[in-house]
Structure 1
Amino acid sequence: MNKHQLIADHGLIGDLQTTALVATDGTLDWFCSPRFDSPSIFASLLDHERGGHFTTRPREEAFATKQLYFPDTAILITRFLTEAGVGELTDFMIPTTGTAPSQQHRLVRMFRCVRGKISFDIEVAPRFDYGRQSHELSVSDSGAVFDAGETRLSLSLIREQDDERLGRSISTDEGMLRAVLDLEEGQMRGVVLETGPDVSPTFIRPAEAQQLADDTAHFWHDWLSQSTYTGRWRAVLERSAITLKLLTYAPSGSLVAAPTAGLPEQIGGERNWDYRFTWVRDGSFSVHALLRMGFVDEAVAFSQWLRNRVTEPRAEGSYPLDIMYRVDGSSDLHEEVLKDWKGYRGSYPVRIGNGAADQLQLDIYGEALDAMYYLDGAGVGIGQSGWLAISELLNWLADNWDQPEEGIWETRGGRKDFTYGRLMCWVAFDRGIRLATSHGRPAPLARWIAERDAIYQQIMEKGWSSERQAFVQQYGDEVLDAALLKMPQVGFVSPQDPMWQSTLRAMDTELVSDSLVYRYDPSASPDGLRGSEGTFSLCTFLYVDALARSGRLEEARLTFDKMLTYANHVGLYSEEIAATGEQIGNFPQAFTHLALIDAAMTLNERLDAAQNGRRFRGQTGHTSP
């Protein structure tokens, strides 16, 4: 087994409450249960010895592998090509679509010989609670149980009734199960992994397992049929939409930033964070992308989650919103380090939880209000309790927007006056004013308008650098920030404004590297962390959007098409791209796929308008659906 499988060499499967990663060599090396943010059961992606794994590989020494998704689904197929034959491993999870959290989750692994003969070596070695909880293993004719007390993992065999267990040999060693599976052309066998407090193995026929696969495929085909998008790059956008659906926690409607923890922004560095939580910012951006594609239910579900966060009681003196939450809306995100874990390719420390949860990031209020305004335009009402909560939030923001903060990039170098934070505070007041006036709602409009205008004036005076001829990251500095690519998108400036055009040209020179875009220059703007990072994939797609809005269509299309070449073999993106072209950071990242959808749709609209010989007259910002 390759102990250092590349981040990009994985496909994602899931059941809408948790997910798993399957490497191109068939290794199941990341799986947490019962939720995204639960302790891991398999995590060899971060530490082969301590993390736990489910490996499978042909017995032949030489083989090649290929991996793909069954069309328009989240069913992953890994193909093994050997001299003796061709085998397939089909991995998927059974969707749990209800509104109630489930403690039991099923992951199916179906092995099939499609040509000749093939034998697989299988090794199942779970490590519960990040390897901190011991377990007992018991084996029966139906399968096996790995019992860690409150959590159990059962392994049910997929076989015909007259088969002898899984294969010609099964052995156990220190809580680990090994087996050999021999298959001839046309045969299918496998296992069903099930987690829960009282699960036990059962006998499953191949036909029953195939029915589970067929039902799962039908679920995904039915869900994807809601898409209304028919423009360019349709397959790419639909894969991103499926990925976002996989990252959505069905019981609450919240969207995790990524299903993984500890994957580094620099190989061997310390920028290793836990992303298995819901950021207000990421989730709010999802509303726009999902509604544009026609996925109304998901956008509405997140809006309800967001309303619950805005309206829930808060302790006196606390902020109206936290920047991130667990998927159930709780806010206990205590950060700790997994001692003795080696980390992905030696990238230490491995952190679980997220210490940035208590930061002040003022931009989230603009993103939340922008999402609510967009939903309102789509006919999703806010309601009286929601409006009262929005009013309280904006009144708090009126007292608190003009202060230093940690900013969108969650720097750990102290609070500063970030231009992007002020920009999104402007958005918050602008959208609140529009919501009030469009429905005749009671509001202290004079105050909100005054605050909105004061922010505008401040950004123009302090966020603009005459020397750089550009809007800059923070007041009194000269550093550029790719987050400000949102300026024309949210309607703060016109894409043709000379100040914006000058800013975009400055970013072309300083932040763009052969179409890829850095967030900012850490050497020029210390962020409290050692090391460097790659280009930020979200920012590259924001750059495409900004180029398209600014009329630079040929550059926008080339940049977008180049970015598509950095996707992995099944169309997934991590957080960043290293100088080598390798994907780094947590994987797959929702933010990247959200930005991909928005950039593609904006570019498609502008290209259509150009081909039809007319000027684009659509909205500049997220002001109507």
Structure 2
Amino acid sequence: LLRLGFQDEAVGFMHWAMDRAQSCSKGHLGVMYALDGGEVASERKLDLAGFEGASPIVVGNDANGQTQHDIYGALLDATYLGSKYGEPLAHDSWQAIIRVVDHVCDTWRDPDSGIWEVRGPDKEYLHSRLMNWVAVDRAVRLAQKRSLPAPLVRWSETRTEISDDIWANFWNDDLGRFVRAKGDTPEDKAVDGALLMMPLVRFIGPTDPKWLATLKAIGDDLSDDGQVYRYKIDDGLPGQEGTFVACSFWYVECLARAGRLDEARFNFEKLLAHGNHLGLFAEEIAQDGTFLGNFPQAFSHLALISAAFYLDRALNDGGPRAWA
């Protein structure tokens, strides 16, 4: 929103997010909230036909009781950018952020359901660990930039511990790439579309050889003509997976950040052709080009905007700009 000039909307969203954070006395956020800040109901099926007879039609979300560590990284990244380019944090909001980050410091080693809300045993996922790192990193940066009171020694040490854990437990020397989860099963050692966030959140350089090896593996294993599946595992959910639109646009941005601008632009333009007459996207795209999942999907459009913004800047300015 801030990138596109929607200042009022961005500030309004941050007020809403800070209200949620302040309502958590111990810093433990819910995975999801209703627009009014209340709880999201559990899933129930409706006796209705979906688009072209698709079924089942479900309202609510059973993931409301899951643990998903990535939400903390998303909140702190938004808080950091909102404070830097939008409106400074109020005192009570910063106190709430301290509680949230302290909670992350206490729980980052715990397994969770991950970004994809896998219906099965919790695991230690790389993306979740990555977003825990983002949460602490952005909190440290924000405290230092704004001279805010914070337990910086503990936070800085935790940030280093999380980084060390990622390199020690999620980089696989035998495979020569990062893996999706800590463990020894083929599913644990697979690649995952969520790994595309690693350079996008500035954990690793976009041209680091170890990242480029992982990017190649994602392209080889998950990409189909520029469209990217989020994974190829059994997630415990019914139905067949299509390519995941957000992952496809993350892939475009990763290519662009790696300097592969022609390839990034080509894939980007092919993806845009799959939008409907209003340029909108669903969650996934089936092999025949039809939409699958929620429509319109905010996640898809956020990834589109981010890829478009970076690609346009790189094509016009000849390369990336500094970030701090």
Superposed pair shares fold, TM > 0.5: yes
Q: Tell me what 1:468 maps to.
A: 175
Determine the structure 2 residue equivalent to 1:500. Answer: 211
Give me the whole-angstrom Cα distance separating, in 1, the residues matched to 2:97 and 2:149.
Answer: 11
Preserved contact between residue 401 and residue 422 of structure 1 (Cα < 8 Å): yes
Preserved contact between residue 517 and residue 543 of structure 1 (Cα < 8 Å): yes
- Does 2:303 align with 1:584? no
Between 1:356-365 and 1:471-480, the stretch displaced more is 471-480
Is 1:487–2:206 an aligned residue pair? no
Matched, 1:420 2:127: yes
| Displacement of 1:584 | 1.6
Q: Give me the identity figure in percent.
A: 46
Partner of 1:152: none
Q: What is aligned with 1:328?
A: 36
Deviation at 1:470, TM superposition (A): 1.6
C-alpha distance in 2 between matches for 1:601 and 1:364? 23
The C-alpha deviation readout for 1:367-398, integer Å capped at 9, x for no partner, is: 10000000111141111101111111111111
Q: 1:351 is matched with which residue?
A: 58
2:180 and 2:192 in contact (8 A); partners too: yes
Distance 1:332 1:501, change over 3 A: closer
> Is 2:73 the partner of 1:369?
no
Aligned to 1:295: 6
TM-fit CA distance, 1:575: 0.8
Match of 2:225 among 514, 517, 532: 514
What does 1:553-572 correspond to in 2, within 5 Å? 553-572=261-280
- Look up the SS of the partner of 1:292 in the other structure: coil
Structure label with greater radius of gyration: 1
Flag the 1:353–1:421 CA change in 2: closer, same or farther, 3 A.
same
Instruction: Answer yes or no: is 1:605 the counterpart of 2:305.
Output: no
CA contact 1:545–1:556 (8 Å) conserved in 2: yes
Deviation at 1:616, TM superposition (A): 3.0
Aligned partner of residue 324 in structure 1, secondary structure: coil
1:436 aligns with 2:143: yes
Determine the structure 1 residue equivalent to 2:67: 360
CA-CA distance at 1:558 after TM superposition = 0.2
Structure 1 gap ranges (5+): 1-289
Query: Which whole-Å CA distance do the structure 2 matches of 1:306 and 1:299 have between them?
Result: 11
- Give me the CA root mean square deviation: 1.5
Deviations 1:538-569 (A, max 9, x none): 11110111000000101000000100110112
Q: Superposed, which structure 2 residues align to 1:520-559 within 5 Å?
A: 520-522=231-233, 526-559=234-267
Q: What residue identity is the alignment partner of 1:324?
A: M
Provide Cα deviations, 1:186-243, integer angstroms capped at 9, x if missing partner. xxxxxxxxxxxxxxxxxxxxxxxxxxxxxxxxxxxxxxxxxxxxxxxxxxxxxxxxxx
Paired residues of 1:325 and 1:333 also in contact (CA < 8 A): no
Shift of 1:307: 0.3
Secondary structure (helix, strand or coil) at the match of 1:618 reads: coil
Aligned pair count?
320
Give the C-alpha shift of residue 609 in structure 1: 2.4
1:348 Cα offset (Å): 3.3
One-letter amino acid matched to 1:578: A
TM-score (norm 2): 0.95
SS at match of 2:77: helix
- Cα distance in 1 for partners of 2:247, 2:97 equals 29
2:92 is the counterpart of 1:385? yes
Cα deviations by residue, 1:51-73 (Å, 9 ceiling, x for unpaired): xxxxxxxxxxxxxxxxxxxxxxx
Offset, 1:297: 0.7
Cα offset, 1:293, TM superposition: 0.8
2:2 counterpart SS class: helix
Greater relative contact order (Cα < 8 A, sep 6+): 1
Q: CA deviation at 1:591?
A: 1.0
Give, in angstroms, the shift of residue 410 of structure 1. Answer: 0.8
8 Å CA contact retained: 2:10, 2:86: no
Indicate yes or no: 2:152 matched with 1:448.
no
Give the secondary structure class of the aligned counterpart of 2:200. Answer: coil
Distance in 1, matches of 2:301 and 2:123, equals 29
**1:582 and 1:349, CA in 2 relative to 1: closer, same or farther beyond 3 A?**
closer
Shift of 1:342: 4.5
| In 1, Cα distance between equivalents of 2:24 and 2:293 | 35
Supply the distance in 2 between the matched residues of 1:576 and 1:436 (Cα, whole angstroms): 38
Greater strand content: 1
- DSSP-derived class of the 1:351 partner: strand
Q: How does 1:64-75 map to 2 (within 5 A)?
A: none
1:590 Cα deviation after fit: 1.0
Contact 2:40 2:61 in 1 (8 A): no
The C-alpha deviation readout for 1:323-344, integer Å capped at 9, x for no partner, is: 1111111014222222x44444
Match of 1:214?
A: none
8 Å Cα contact 1:413-1:529 kept in structure 2: no
Richer in helix (by share) = 2
Alignment of 1:406-417 (within 5 A): 406-417=113-124
Spell out, residue by residue over 1:465-490, the C-alpha distance to the aligned partner (whole angstroms, 9 max, x if none).
22322212111221111111111111
* Contact 2:2-2:86 at 8 Å conserved across structures: no
Deviation at 1:515, TM superposition (A): 0.5
1:116-515 equivalences under 5 Å are 290-314=1-25, 320-338=28-46, 340-476=47-183, 477-515=188-226
Q: CA deviation at 1:594?
A: 1.2
Cα distance in 2 for partners of 1:341, 1:564 equals: 31
* Separation in 1, partners of 2:17, 2:122: 26
Which of 293, 316, 320 is 1:616 aligned to?
320
Deviation digits for residues 145-183 of structure 1, max 9, x if unmatched?
xxxxxxxxxxxxxxxxxxxxxxxxxxxxxxxxxxxxxxx
Structure 2: runs of 5 or more not aligned: none
Decide whether the 8 Å contact of 1:485 with 1:546 is kept in 2: yes
**CA distance in structure 2 between the partners assigned to 1:324 and 1:579 by the alignment:** 30
Deviations 1:68-116 (A, max 9, x none): xxxxxxxxxxxxxxxxxxxxxxxxxxxxxxxxxxxxxxxxxxxxxxxxx
